[in-house]
Amino acid sequence: MDKGKDLLTRINDGFGGFSKGQKLIAAFVIDHYDMAVFMTASKIAETVGVSESTVVRFAKEIGYDGFPEFTKALESLYKSKNDMVGKMRKKYGSSSQSEVLNSILRADMQKLEDTIVNMDVKAFEMSVDIILKARKVYVVGLRSCQPLAEFLNFYLNMIRADVIMLNTTSASEMFEQMIRIDSRDCIIGISFPRYSMRTLKAMEFAHDRNARVITITDSVHSPMNLYSTCNLLARSDMVSIVDSLVAPLSVINALVVALCLKRPKEVKANLENLEEAWENYQVYLNDEINFVDDEPILDYSLRKEESDDDDDDDEWQ
């Protein structure tokens, strides 16, 4: 194990080879490092439900000489996370508001460029096909990734039926919601550092049930890739006290557009039904509804489809 790696990197790198007990410890440390830093080996063991010796062996498994060195690594992680505001003040404290704006926007632009360069186009195309062919599509993204998951879930429901958003505060509730998942289904897991162990457990469960697994994460080293059928990588770095989710959102936008282009008639029909419901139940004022007729992407796709049909007719004549 590389001595220069921090605690979270060590856990992520080794996760695939951990025992069941070690995975429980890893999940607890990543999700609750701010609690674990003040706990003894016996207390962590009691909280997680393993033996104290398993906790000690876990520390050695990820490259530490023993639990005391592991505790020091936890303290270092705790201090670095809690000093984020200080780091941000040091970086931007003397900057004007316009300089802060310019700096953040340029950083996000760079993340988009990196995402374009590193995107696996074949994995993207495979993801589109998997989502369209699946009986049910499950979507999971927790903590800061929850808005991304909700955004994707909203638009997937306009494109196809049987989309299930896993919205839960515990792993047990998550399994209850996806208990019927099987090889006919797929799950889309969204997670960025600090990676959510609940999301990872959901993806592991889906993988074990032979479902297709799509990940939206930040790098090839992400533990989310352990169980995935195809990986969609989007750059996401913490530039302040919040994660930058611009690139992941752009990847999700691209997914939605690609799916719409595959099923333009269904999407247009769904939007028309929604518009009729909005009008009938006065959800929006009439001047706010301008959704279906002026949608250039759907219009182009439908016109192209009609053109292709005409060409086929000409060939048969």
Q: Which two tokens stand for residue 170?
A: 């515990």
Cα distance between residue 105 and residue 123, in whole Å: 28
Three-state DSSP state, 14? helix
Q: How far is CA 213 from CA 15, 72, 130, 200, in A?
A: 18, 36, 9, 11
**Which of 261, 140, 136, 146 has its CA nearest to residue 199?**
140
Q: How confident is the model at residue 20 (pLDDT cuts 50, 70, 90)?
A: confident
Q: How confident is the model at residue 289 (pLDDT cuts 50, 70, 90)?
A: very low
**DSSP run (H or E) holding 71:** helix 67-82
Mean pLDDT comparison of 5-9, 65-69, 108-112, highest-scoring range = 65-69
The amino acid that residue 291 corresponds to is F
Which pLDDT value is given to residue 316?
Answer: 46
Q: State the Cα angle at 18 between 14 and 24, rounded to 5°.
A: 110
Strand order in the sheet with 137-141: 163-165, 137-141, 186-190, 212-217, 230-233
Looking at per-residue confidence, does 79 or 69 come out higher? 69
Which pLDDT value is given to residue 80?
Answer: 72
Cα distance between residue 117 and residue 111, in whole Å: 10
- CATH of range 7-82; options 3.40.50.2300, 2.40.50.140, 1.10.10.10, 3.40.228.10: 1.10.10.10
User: What is the pLDDT of the chain when averaged over all its residues?
Assistant: 81
pLDDT at 68 over 70: yes
Which residue, chain included where needed, has tokens 């799950």? 187
pLDDT at 11 over 90: no
pLDDT at 240 over 60: no
pLDDT at 252 over 90: yes
**Which of 98, 95, 85 has its CA nearest to residue 239?**
85
Q: Number of C-alpha atoms within 13 angstroms, CB side, residue 77?
A: 24
CB 37 within 8 A of CB 71: yes
**Which of 48, 46, 42, 47 has its CA nearest to residue 71?**
42
Which pLDDT value is given to residue 109?
Answer: 87
Query: How does pLDDT run across 89-123, given as a tens digit for each residue?
Result: 666 666 677 877 887 788 888 888 888 988 999 99
CATH number of 119-260: 3.40.50.10490
Distance of CA 27 to the CA centre of its chain: 17
| Domain locations in the chain as residue ranges | 7-82, 119-260, 264-316
Q: How far is CA 4 from CA 9, 74, 110, 295, in A?
A: 10, 14, 27, 52
Contacts of 256 (CB under 8 A, 6+ apart): 152, 155, 156, 159
DSSP code, position 49: T
Which pLDDT value is given to residue 294?
Answer: 54
Give the residues across from 232 on adjacent strands: 216
Query: How does pLDDT run across 116-158, given as a tens digit for each residue?
Result: 988 999 999 999 999 999 999 999 998 888 999 999 999 898 8
